[in-house]
């Protein structure tokens, strides 16, 4: 078995995910994980598929033939499990240019891997400003202190609220 990571972007339309799942199924692939979104009217997604080596070329051809969809397929080598724990982190603050750059720079200083990042900016009802929220899933080495990370992130700006989920993910 080989593992593929498939990146997709194209015009969003009803039935597109069904077309993708059917294509994977028809080519004997096993849909393992995915993150699919609609962003600015476009469909954007990443799918992890397990498939037999001999079935991968036909799946690749079939996916690339779906109209109005750009497809990139990469082989993914299975990685050894690191000595880390996955934690969720939420950072909230007044929206301004550079928040993600500043936060990810601090995260990188600790050697932390970002597994997932979801962001949102929305109007604040009380102030009329815009509130920015970033939700991270982070692989943090078991030797790194969550308090130290929190202090470093809170030091970026007086208005940032930094919250770790006390229950680890894995």
Q: What is the pLDDT of residue 170?
A: 54
Whole-number Å distance between alpha carbons of 76 and 162: 33
What are the residue boundaries of the structural domains of the chain, listed by start?
2-76, 84-164
Q: What is the mean pLDDT of the chain?
A: 93
Three-state DSSP at 67 gives coil
Quick check: 127 pLDDT over 90? no
Quick check: 125 pLDDT over 80? no
How far is residue 163 CA from its own chain's centroid?
19
Residue 142 contacts residue 157 (beta carbons within 8 Å): no
Judged on CB neighbours under 10 Å (0-12, 13-18, 19+), 6 is buried
Q: What is the pLDDT of residue 80?
A: 73
Mean pLDDT of 154-164: 93
Tens digit of each residue's pLDDT (9 = 90 or more) over 75-119: 997 777 778 899 999 999 999 999 999 999 999 999 999 999 999
Domain pair 2-76 / 84-164, same fold: yes
With cut-offs at 50, 70 and 90, classify the pLDDT of residue 167.
low
Q: What is the pLDDT of residue 168?
A: 61
Residue 116: name the closest of 63, 60, 48, 166 by CA.
48
Q: What is the pLDDT of residue 141?
A: 93
What Å distances lie between residue 25 and 8, 57, 59, CA to CA?
Answer: 17, 14, 9
Q: What topology is assigned to 84-164 in CATH?
A: Alpha-Beta Plaits (3.30.70)
Q: What is the pLDDT of residue 149?
A: 96
Q: Which CATH superfamily is domain 2-76 in?
A: ACT domain (3.30.70.260)
Tens digit of each residue's pLDDT (9 = 90 or more) over 52-76: 999 999 999 999 999 999 999 999 9
């Amino acid at each position: 078995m080989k593992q593929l990571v498939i990146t997709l972007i194209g015009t969003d339309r009803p039935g597109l995910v069904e077309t993708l799942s059917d294509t994977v199924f028809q080519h004997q692939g096993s849909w393992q994980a995915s993150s699919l979104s609609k962003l600015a009217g476009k469909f954007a997604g990443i799918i992890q598929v397990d498939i037999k080596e001999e079935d991968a070329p036909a799946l690749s051809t079939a996916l690339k033939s779906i109209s109005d969809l750009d497809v990139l397929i990469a082989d993914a080598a299975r990685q050894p499990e690191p000595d880390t724990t996955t934690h969720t982190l939420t950072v909230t603050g007044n929206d301004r240019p550079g928040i993600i750059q500043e936060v990810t720079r601090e995260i990188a200083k600790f050697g932390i891997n970002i597994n997932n990042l979801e962001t949102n900016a929305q109007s604040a009802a009380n102030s009329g400003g815009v509130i920015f929220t970033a939700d991270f899933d982070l692989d943090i080495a078991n030797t790194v202190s969550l308090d130290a990370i929190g202090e470093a992130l809170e030091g970026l700006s007086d208005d940032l609220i930094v919250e770790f989920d006390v229950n680890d993910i894995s």
